[in-house]
A and B are shown apart, each in its own frame.
Chain A
Amino acid sequence: MRGFLAILRRDLALEARRRESLLSMGVFAAATLFVFRFAFDLHKVESVTVSPAVLWVTALFAATIGLSRSFAVESAGEVMAGLLLAPVDRTAIYLAKVLSTFAVVAVVEAAAFLGLFLLFDPPEVWDPLALLGIAWLATAGFLGAGILFAAMTRHARSGGGTLLQILLLPLSIPLFIGGVQTSERLIRGLPLGDAAKWVPMLAAFGAIYLALGSVLFERVVEE
């Protein structure tokens, strides 16, 4: 717990000071929303039809940027070795990285939702809090798998980002299908209905990815 809190505190303090991940993800999310807004003529296409896809594409790629920066601090010098030399359980390092990355991605997603609301003007009956909850649930699973792959690809001198995406995106498909299905209902202001089954599935995928990441992280960082 001591190591987990120390790493989490350090990473959040660094991000609060430099805002590098927040800015790169935020700018990307804003640009994506604007591109989609001008790509769709909302007089011809219903905003509720395109909003879920816009939302999840924005969240997916912003989170991928967050992941690619998750080990930026450790990639310099022997900072990662410094962590591994310390008497800290490797699972604690993994969970601290997941949570510190999640904190930044969650803020960007909340801002992206606000941007979606402003640019796409979906019906007023939607439930933004439930929508954000679903997004964060899917994001936790995405980062659970993603931090593991980010640690795995951190040594790649070139093409590490590509490798990360190739490994991660196929695993993320169930998370994003669930996300799109549920958010479409919520944006339309409808009860979840059949889509409600995706909520426990998102939680289950998240739990599986986090459990696998906790177990496998030690093997991944071991050389």
Chain B
Amino acid sequence: MSAVVEARGLVRRLGGREVLRGVDLVVEEGTCCGILGPNGAGKTTLLRVLATLLVPHGGRLSLFGRSDRAGLGAARARMGAVLHGTCLVGALSLEANLLFYARLYGVAAARGRVEGLLDRMGLRDRRRDPVSTLSRGLLQRADLSRALLHDPALLLLDEPFTGLDAGAAARVEEILLERRRGGTAIVLVAHDVEKVLRLSDRVAVLDRGRIGFEGPPAEAREGAAALAGSGRG
């Protein structure tokens, strides 16, 4: 398996504070790497650096084997991301939003793809509604549909289960497992430890901008507890 994400010594400062302090992370195709950590540990910043939305101030980021500017730019075509807020425009209908992104990504047979995803996410009935009228949970499902539109080989997910009811969360879990089996590399940031442990092949616990623990899910709980016990978690 080849590494889709390879981060070495990533450093990123925000407002003069060093939020990432030398993060190393490797995510291979067909695997899911869960990122756990307390508030302010740098999880979201790490995800935004991996998504090329933030430029690292130090270290090296390689996506799909390329770390040059053009290579990182090209990686965007193969990457889907769910961020903290929605990327959808509130005044447009859900369908119009997804068709807009399908055009941006050059998705072939866009309408069919959009309809398929809306069905899968249980959003077909709401497709003509303005996004601003959707509940938090529906918005989360809509945003995940947007991230999956172009069949990405890398998924970066920041709290994708926020606002979802049990049924929707199970459906999203099922989709993520299916994507992983299909070869998609996934980076999953979430506070729900059980979900992260269930979905991930490896778990990294971020602690004040550094990877404090990295290992298989079975050991992650102990690793996180040890960090918390040492007063660093």
Contacts and interface: CB of A to CB of B under 8 A. Distances in A.
Contacts of B91: 14, 17-18, 73
Interface string B126-166: 00000000000000000000100000000000000000000
Interface in B50-93: 51-55, 73-74, 76-77, 79, 81, 83-92
Contacts of A222: 55
B55 A2 contact: no
A222 B92 CA distance: 26
Interface stretch (A78-86, A123-131, A161-169, A201-209): A78-86
B88 A14 contact: no
A73 B74 CA distance: 25
Contact of B54 (A76, A87, A223): A223
A87 B55 contact: no
Contacts of B85: 77-78, 81
Contacts of A6: 100, 103-104
Contacts of B51: 81, 85
A17 B73 CA distance: 33
Contacts of A79: 86-89
Contacts, number: 74
Given A77-B88, A78-B86, A79-B87, A223 B53 contact: yes
Interface in A60-90: 73, 76-79, 81-88
Interface residues of A, number: 26
Nearest to B78: A87
B222 to A, nearest CB: 35
B106 interface: yes
Contact of B76 (A10, A76, A77, A85): A85
Interface of A: 2-3, 5-7, 9-10, 13-14, 17-18, 73, 76-79, 81-88, 222-223
Given A77-B86, A79-B87, A87-B74, 4 more contacts: A3-B104, A6-B104, A87-B76, A222-B55
A85 B79 CA distance: 8
B50 to A, nearest CB: 11
Contacts of A88: 104
A82 B147 CA distance: 9
B74 to A, nearest CB: 7
Contacts of A10: 89, 92, 100
A7 B79 CA distance: 20
Contacts of A14: 89, 91-92
Given A76-B89, A86-B101, A86-B105, A223 B55 contact: yes
A89 to B, nearest CB: 8
